[in-house]
């Protein structure tokens, strides 16, 4: 197995996870204008799935504690260690476990998105945004304070489904995350070019006009929240698997809600390619700050630890003031290709001329 350079691995990891979360946010915000300030909710739900379910299933299969003891820090390390040793000898089972974890995370994220659709029926604008943000804080508090779920304040270790490759397990994990992020991007592109995507934009631009033409805005909102929630939950599960642990306090609004908003705003709201560019630019800037931290400390009057936070703040303010549509603004999408439209126009013009000549 090829091992990636640690710096390359870090760039790919941050880019891939950032892209997945930002794209899921763009589906909800960019395509339908849902004020999604609770992206953390689906992300941490996916992480909880990865930390709580697969390990318990295997622990039960191997005859080890799978109940409250599983999340106890006194037992968790030994249980997960034995599970990882078992998985390292069973590649097929490891791959199956990984894929099933992604499916479970997507289902849980989708269910959460559907439940969030209920307040979306009654609330609009900032009220809905604050409500979704509050939901994220609620589930974080539950994971932090309810020890039997994912270890409470001490957290739990997460089963490693890539241990069967040996030293290259982290590289394989990062490559898998990259592949899943690319699939998510392609899916989002196909979605927005589909009739469903065009309906979302129609509702976004004029909900009343869309409903006049028979479009169900309520149903579209629910389906969009399900799609976005499922995608974000998969990203949360991938992060937990890569790090090998899950601790609720490490999942913050800053990282999993406001940074994706900054990526989306920088690249271009409603434009998947713009979001990709925004995530890439920030990932490279953040990696440069981390890589050359020791040099920056001697140049700037503050600790380089805070530079990336300042950078995000500057980006948000600058984009709002000077480039509110982002680096790559959304462009109108044609239902048919330009050539097809021109052929139809020529055919209509020809038919019109023939009709005029005969009359």
This prediction has a pTM of 0.89
Q: Which of 58, 13, 40, 35 is nearest to 221 (CA)?
A: 35
Q: Which of 143, 102, 110 is nearest to 24 (CA)?
A: 110
- The tens digit of pLDDT for each residue in 311-331 reads 777 877 888 788 888 888 887
Query: Does residue 302 or residue 44 have the better pLDDT?
Result: 44
Q: How confident is the model at residue 337 (pLDDT cuts 50, 70, 90)?
A: low
* pLDDT for residue 306: 75
Helix, strand, coil percentages (3-state) for the chain, rounded to 5, are: 80, 0, 20
What average pLDDT does range 227-256 have in this prediction? 93
Considering 3-12, 181-190, 251-260, the range whose residues carry the highest mean pLDDT is 181-190
Q: How confident is the model at residue 175 (pLDDT cuts 50, 70, 90)?
A: very high
Residue 220 CB partners (closer than 8 Å, separation 6+): 32, 196, 199, 200, 203
Count of residues in the chain: 359
Considering 170-174, 304-308, 351-355, the range whose residues carry the highest mean pLDDT is 170-174
Q: What is the percent of the chain where pLDDT is above 70?
A: 96
Q: Which of 187, 220, 24, 181 is nearest to 109 (CA)?
A: 24
Q: Which of 306, 312, 305 is nearest to 264 (CA)?
A: 312
How many angstroms separate the Cα of 164 from the Cα of each of 3, 13, 52, 199, 358? 14, 20, 21, 45, 78
What average pLDDT does range 195-202 have in this prediction? 91
Q: Which of 239, 57, 241 is nearest to 157 (CA)?
A: 241
Cα–Cα dist 310/301, whole Å: 13
User: Is residue 31 pLDDT above 80, yes or no?
Assistant: yes
| Domains observed in the chain | 6-358 (1.10.3470)
Tell me the torsion sign for CA atoms 241, 242, 245, 249: negative
């Amino acid at each position: 197995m090829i091992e990636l350079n640690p710096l390359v691995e870090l760039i790919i990891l941050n880019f891939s996870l950032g892209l997945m979360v930002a794209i899921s946010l763009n589906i909800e915000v960019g395509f339908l204008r849902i004020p999604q300030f609770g992206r953390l909710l689906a992300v941490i739900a996916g992480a909880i799935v990865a930390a709580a379910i697969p390990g318990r299933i295997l622990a039960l299969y191997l005859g080890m504690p799978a109940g409250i003891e599983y999340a106890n820090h006194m037992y968790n390390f030994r249980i997960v260690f034995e599970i990882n040793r078992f998985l390292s000898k069973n590649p097929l089972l490891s791959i199956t476990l990984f894929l099933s974890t992604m499916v479970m995370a997507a289902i849980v994220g989708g269910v959460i998105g559907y439940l969030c659709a209920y307040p979306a029926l009654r609330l609009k604008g900032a009220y809905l945004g604050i409500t979704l943000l509050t939901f994220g804080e609620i589930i974080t508090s539950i994971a932090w304070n309810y020890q039997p779920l994912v270890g409470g304040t001490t957290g739990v270790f997460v089963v490693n489904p890539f241990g069967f490759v040996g030293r290259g397990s982290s590289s394989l994990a990062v490559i898998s995350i990259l592949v899943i992020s690319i699939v998510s991007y392609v899916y989002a592109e196909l979605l927005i070019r589909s009739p469903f995507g065009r309906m979302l934009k129609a509702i976004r631009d004029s909900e009343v006009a869309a409903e006049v033409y028979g479009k169900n805005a309520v149903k579209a909102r629910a389906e969009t929240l399900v799609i976005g929630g499922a995608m974000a939950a998969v990203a949360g599960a991938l992060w937990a698997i890569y790090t090998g642990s899950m601790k609720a306090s490490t999942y913050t609004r800053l990282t999993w809600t406001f940074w994706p908003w900054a990526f989306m705003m920088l690249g271009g709201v409603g434009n998947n390619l713009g979001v990709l560019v925004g995530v890439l630019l920030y990932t490279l800037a953040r990696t440069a700050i981390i890589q050359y931290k020791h040099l920056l400390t001697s140049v700037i009057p503050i600790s380089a630890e805070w530079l990336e936070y300042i950078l995000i703040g500057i980006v948000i303010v600058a984009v709002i003031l000077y480039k509110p549509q982002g680096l790559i603004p959304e462009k109108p999408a044609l239902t048919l290709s330009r050539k097809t439209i021109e052929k139809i126009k020529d055919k209509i013009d020809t038919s019109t001329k023939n009709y005029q000549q005969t009359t």
